Every structure is written in C-alpha cells, then in structure tokens.
Structure 1
Amino acid sequence: MRTSDFNYELPKELIAQHPLENRVNSKLLLLNKETGEVNHEHFYNIIEHLKEGDVLVLNNTRVMPARLYGHRVGREEHIEFLLLKRNDDDIWECLCKPGKKAKIGTVVEFSDKLSAEVVDISEDGSRFLKFKYDGIFEEILDELGEMPLPPYITEKLEDKERYQTVYSKVEGSAAAPTAGLHFTEELLKKIKDKGVEICYITLHVGLGTFRPVKVDDVESHQMHSEFYMISKEVADTINKAKDEGRRVVAVGTTSIRTLETVADDFGKVSEKSGWTDIFIYPGYKFKCVNALITNFHLPESTLVMLVSAFASKKYIMNAYKIAVEEKYRFFSFGDAMFIY
C-alpha cells in the first residue's frame, strides 16, 4: 500500500481560513460506508441522522496556547517554539524554528516571567526545554502563548475560543479535535433530548497525527504517541450500548483512535489511561465504533488513511472528489462528513 494512493487534488481556495460565524452552518457530506452513496446536508441537520439510543463520543481535550516566541539571552532575534508534551520536572518536548538557534545549553527568554534552557534534542529534531518561571505556568502560558493554528491557516484568529470545542475541558492538546468544532451547546442539548447518550473521553492531540507520511510504504510509518483517558462511567455506557446492539458514533479521528485502542476483540472498552500510537489504515478491522463524524483531511495523511479504513479507500476518494466539485471547505475550519 503506497502513500501516494491517498493523494487527491485540492484547489488552495478550498482550504478554510477562518471558522464560520455560526458553527452549525457548515456543510455536511453524508457517506454510506456500505454502498458509497453520497448526500449533502448542513451540520445542523446531523440530529436527523442520529438515532435514539446512539452513544455519541466526543473528545473534551482543550488546546493549549502552545506557540511561544522567544530569543536567546542578549540577542534580538525570534525563535518560535511549539509545546508538544510535558514531561517531568517542567521539561517540555517542543518543535523549534529555526532549530540551528536552539542548541543544547541555549537559554531562551520569553518574558521577564518565563525562560527556558534547551536540555536535549531528539533524533527527529524536537527540542526539550526546561522552563523556569515566576508564578503559575499555565497562567503565564495563557498570557504569552498563541493558538497553534496549522500552517495552512494564514489568517489571524481573532477569538481563541473558536479553535476550541464548546465542551473543551481538559487542557493538554497541541491541536484541536476539529470534528467537534461544529457543535454548539444548543445542538448538543437537542441531540440529548432526542435520546442520544453523550459521552466524553480525552485524547490530547499531538502534532504527530498531522505530520506528513514521509515513507512510500504506508506500513513503515511510525505514529507518535498521544495521551488518552476513558472513565469507568463512559466505558459502562458504551458497553451497555454494544450489548443492546446500539450504535457508537465517534466524533473525530481522535475519539475513534481512543476507543479502538482500549476496545477488546468483542468491542468492549474499559476504564483506562495511557499512551496510544495506534495507526489505522485500510485492512484494519474496527471493533467498537459504528459511525464517524469527521472533517476533510490533508492528502496522504494518516487521517485520510484512517477514514479510508472505515469506509474503504474507493468510497472515501470518491467522496473527496465530490466534495471538491461541490466546493466544500477543507481541513480544520472546514466542513464535515458523517460516515455511517
């Protein structure tokens, strides 16, 4: 299976640069994973395609304002860091640009309250920073940090909350679980009133999910690991639904990766937390999830491979072709797809 098998043509103007004024007004492409049939709706009609008794699983991670700009002590130049993962003793794994200015031992100042020393460099070029600060780190980060918008979004985001889901709660992500950006509190209430059970799991999204696949052979790609948590209450709700033949509907590839990580061969899940590097591509047999709400993903990405496993590559590539023809908006602030 070649990485190039998951490429498709996308005009630049279809890459969404900003969120819609009303989250629920995005388009919704409906894809039947058994027949390949495609239909078109708006997201506010997702409620019509959810059934009483469904379990809707959302990722309640919250994005950190993880992009920091600093400079070497005594220098004026800018160095950009993107915080990825917190380790022990206030040491963070970060992406750095330009890397040549952040060698081991380099001290970087971000403000009079925050500085850091580069204490290690990984094989892939990630930097490990040990932070020193005066006060509460999270408060300082909220004051100094910027939202880590993907590089294909070139317009400034005026409201940080538009890159958060309305139900975001547990801070720790380097990127938003973007399928959830389409929901409003009002829509979630309507869904609940219909008899759909709503559950929240946590997976802190790392940039490894979005990094391009750099190998020709798909199976040679190594995923980065991401931290997840699922509670006993959520596990019990999902297991009861599975026993009763009701659907589990995952919101986003992060939710589906979490559920498929913890599910056993019978589709049952358990209370658990840990790190997952699960890589789902065509040939994978899904154990837990029956339907998926997702956005449109980058060509040749692991996320296109995941949805191609869920619905078949043939049906996904055809749906993407139709979405381009119908001028859907793509990627983080773009439109949605419901695969059922």
Structure 2
Amino acid sequence: MKTDDFDFDLDEDLIAQHPMKNRDESRLMVMNRTSGEISHKRFYDIVDYLEPGDVLVLNDTRVIPARLFGNRPDKDEKIEVLLVKREEDDVWETLVKPGKKMKLGSNITFGDGLLKGKVVDINDEGNRFIKFLYEGIFEEILDELGNMPLPPYITEKLEDKERYQTVYAKHEGSAAAPTAGLHFTKELLKRIEEKGVIVKFVTLHVGLGTFRPVKVDDVEKHNMHSEMYIMPKDTADAINEAKKNGKKIIAVGTTCIRTLESVYKKHGDIREDSGWTDIFIYPGFEFKVVDSLITNFHLPKSTLLMLVSAFSTKENILRAYDIAVKERYRFFSFGDAMFIKRD
C-alpha cells in the first residue's frame, strides 16, 4: 500500500484559517460508510442521525499553551520551544527552533527568568529534552507565558484561544486540539442528551505526531507516534450496554477511535483502562467498537486520512474529498465536518 495512494489536490484557500463564528454552523458532509452515498447538511443537523440509546464518545483533553518563546542568556538569541510530551518531573520532550543552536547543556530563559530551561538530552529525531526550573506551579506559569500551538498551516492569529478548545475540554495535556469536537456547543450537546443519546468521554492527549507527514513510500513502514489515553469505567460500561442492546457507538474524531480500538485490541473487550497507544489504522484494519465517525477533512498523505479510509473505503473517501473540494468545503482543524454513518 503506497502513501501516494492517499494524495489529493487541494486549493490553499480552502484551508480554514479561523473558526466559524458559531461552532455548530459548520457544514456537514454526511456519507454512508458502505455505499458512499453523500448528502450536505449543517453540523447542528447531527442530532437527526443519532438515536436514543446510542453512545456518543468525545475526547475531553485540553490543549496546553505549549509554544514558548525564550532567549539564550549567553548569546542573546531568540529560541522557540514547543512542548511535545512530559517525560518525568519537569523534563519535557520538545521541538526547538533553531534546534542546531540548542546543544546538550544549553540554557534558555522565558519571561525575564520566570521560567528557565536546560537541554539535558537529544533523541535521534533531534527533539530536545529540556528540564525546566521555576518557582510556583508550572501550569500557571505556562498559562502566563505560553501560546496556543496552532498547526503550521494556520497562519492567521487566533483572537480567542478558547476557540482552539472544545467546550467540554477538561484534562490538560494535548499539544493539539481534537478538532472534530470543535463543532459542538453546549446547547447542541444538551439537545443530543435530551433525545436520549448517551454522551460519554475518553481522554487522549493529542501529540504533534498527528501533524507529522508520512515520509515513507510504503504505508506499513511508517513509524506511528504514541499518545496517552484514559478509558473511564462509566464510558466502558455505557459502550458495553449499548453494544448488548444493538445500539451504535459514534466516535467524535480519530482520537476517540484510536482510544476505543486500542483498548479492544489490548484486552479483547472494552473495559476501564489507561496507557499509551501507537495504534496505526489504515485500510485492512478490522474495527471492533466504533459504528459511526464524526471527523474533519484531513491532510493529503496523512495517517488521519488513512484512518478514515480504513473506516469506509479509500475509494469512498477520496471521492468524498473530491466533492468537498468542488463544493468549497473548508479543510483541516478549523474546517467543516464529515459524518461517516453506519447503514
């Protein structure tokens, strides 16, 4: 299976640079998972496709302001640091620009010394491991000094940083938003629950690997990034009860699919669990838990496009993307949504 098989042409002006004024007014492409039949709606119409007893699973991770701008005190050079993953204590794996100047032992200061860091290790990919020094609470300092880590294809400034958070974001730890959830409002979720749909949460902290392109020609040789997940007991119990009653499990975003299918792959069933997953889902994968998927439109040749292709078929997805381009849908993180529904 070739990476080039998941390529498509996209006009740059279709890459959404800012969120819709009203979250749930994004466009919604509804596609039958099997037949590929398509209809065009608005996101608030999603409630019409959910039935009493179905379980809607959302990822309640919260994006941390992971982009920091500092200086090398000995060189008076500006350095950009992007927090990728907390390793232990106050050591973080980071991406640094310009990285070559930050050698082992290099120091960096942020906010006039409110936060300091030292490079204590460098991995094979060139990521720097920085140990941070500070007084007080790290999260509070990060909230004061840090910036939202918007994807590289978003070049316009985000006026309200809460627009890169879901309305139900709770557990801090992500370097990127679970963007399929950005379309929900509290009012829409209330309408969904009033219909008898069971709304439950998992946590998966999204890593920057979600934006990493697949650089190998052979899909199966791609080295998938790992992400930390939590499956709460009440969510597992609700899923099992719905499955027993023949109801649907609807995942909101690829992060929820990764969590649900990872737990099943690990245990052979759905249960309370937590850990790290590097599951790589591409065509040929057999889904055991999820029946329908709410997702955004993804980058060419990305692992996310491969995942949604596995959930339906590559032919259905690429045809849908071709239609989305012709119909001028908005793409990527702040773009429109797609609902891939079970028959």
User: Structure 2 length normalisation: TM-score?
Assistant: 0.98
Distance in 1 (alpha carbons) for counterparts of 2:266 and 2:102: 46
Distance in 2 (alpha carbons) for counterparts of 1:270 and 1:210: 29
Q: Does 1:252 align with 2:222?
A: no
User: Structure 1 length normalisation: TM-score?
Assistant: 0.99
Distance in 1 (alpha carbons) for counterparts of 2:140 and 2:43: 35
1:34-87 superposed Cα distances (whole Å, 9 cap, x missing partner): 101011000011101111111000000000000001111133321111101111
Deviation at 1:134, TM superposition (A): 1.5
Distance in 2 (alpha carbons) for counterparts of 1:203 and 1:74: 39
**Cross-structure match for 1:58:** 58
**Cross-structure match for 1:313:** 314
Distance in 2 (alpha carbons) for counterparts of 1:256 and 1:108: 38
Is the alpha carbon distance of 1:264 and 1:74 closer, same or farther for their aligned partners in structure 2, counting shifts above 3 Å?
Answer: closer
**Cross-structure match for 1:294:** 295
**Cross-structure match for 1:277:** 278
Distance in 2 (alpha carbons) for counterparts of 1:257 and 1:178: 14
**Cross-structure match for 1:107:** 107
Contact persistence 1:265–1:287 (CA under 8 A):
no
Distance in 2 (alpha carbons) for counterparts of 1:266 and 1:85: 26
**Cross-structure match for 1:8:** 8
**Cross-structure match for 1:174:** 175
Deviation at 1:266, TM superposition (A): 9.8
Contact persistence 2:79–2:97 (CA under 8 A):
yes
**Cross-structure match for 2:203:** 202
1:280-323 superposed Cα distances (whole Å, 9 cap, x missing partner): 00000000000000000000000000000001000000000000
Deviation at 1:115, TM superposition (A): 0.5
Contact persistence 1:19–1:334 (CA under 8 A):
yes
Deviation at 1:144, TM superposition (A): 0.3
Distance in 2 (alpha carbons) for counterparts of 1:101 and 1:281: 38
| Number of residue-to-residue matches in the alignment | 340
Contact persistence 1:209–1:223 (CA under 8 A):
no
Moved over 6 A (4+): none
Deviation at 1:142, TM superposition (A): 0.2
Q: CA RMSD in A?
A: 1.1
Contact persistence 2:121–2:129 (CA under 8 A):
yes
Is the alpha carbon distance of 1:33 and 1:295 closer, same or farther for their aligned partners in structure 2, counting shifts above 3 Å?
Answer: same
Letter in 1 for 2:16: A
Q: Does 1:150 align with 2:151?
A: yes
Is the alpha carbon distance of 1:267 and 1:23 closer, same or farther for their aligned partners in structure 2, counting shifts above 3 Å?
Answer: farther
Deviation at 1:210, TM superposition (A): 1.8
Contact persistence 2:151–2:211 (CA under 8 A):
no
1:59-98 aligned at under 5 Å gives the runs 59-98=59-98
Contact persistence 2:2–2:219 (CA under 8 A):
yes
Distance in 2 (alpha carbons) for counterparts of 1:11 and 1:331: 12
Q: Does 1:186 align with 2:193?
A: no
**Cross-structure match for 1:119:** 120
Letter in 1 for 2:101: K
Letter in 2 for 1:61: T
Q: Which stretches in structure 2 are left out of the alignment for 5+ residues?
A: none
Q: Which stretches in structure 1 are left out of the alignment for 5+ residues?
A: none
Q: Percent identity?
A: 65
Deviates more, 1:144-153 or 1:45-54: 45-54
**Cross-structure match for 2:214:** 213
